[in-house]
Amino acid sequence: MLQQILALTHFDRESFGALLWAVIFGFLGIILIIIGYRIFDWVSPIDVEKELSEKHNIAVAIVCAAVIIGIAIVIHASIGG
């Protein structure tokens, strides 16, 4: 039992490299999603923030969520290869 626990806690150089790249690509993906959403907000003919905060427009919220998911899928495909 102790050997299994030690095997799980053993963190070699390759595992650290994989973890580091996962964190880097995670932050890169989040930044690209934010940039993509800002571009969508800039290009769209409606004021998204006003529609969401003042009018509580659920349809705009659903469209924004779909845009964010679509951007995330494209970023995943481009980063993941």
- Per-residue pLDDT at 13: 77
Could you tell me the maximum CA-CA distance found in the chain, to the nearest angstrom?
Answer: 62
30 lies in a domain?
A: yes
If we measure between CA atoms, which residue out of 53, 35, 54 comes closest to residue 43? 35
Evaluate whether residue 53 is within a structural domain. Answer: yes
Helix residue spans in 1-81 (DSSP H): 2-9, 13-43, 48-53, 58-80
Q: Is residue 3 part of a domain?
A: no
| pLDDT for residue 4 is more than 70 | no
80 within some domain = yes
Enclosing domain of residue 30 = 26-81
Whether residue 5 has pLDDT greater than 90: no
Q: Ranked by mean pLDDT, which of 8-12, 44-48, 63-67 comes out on top?
A: 63-67
Summarize pLDDT for 20-29 with one digit per residue, the tens.
999 999 999 9
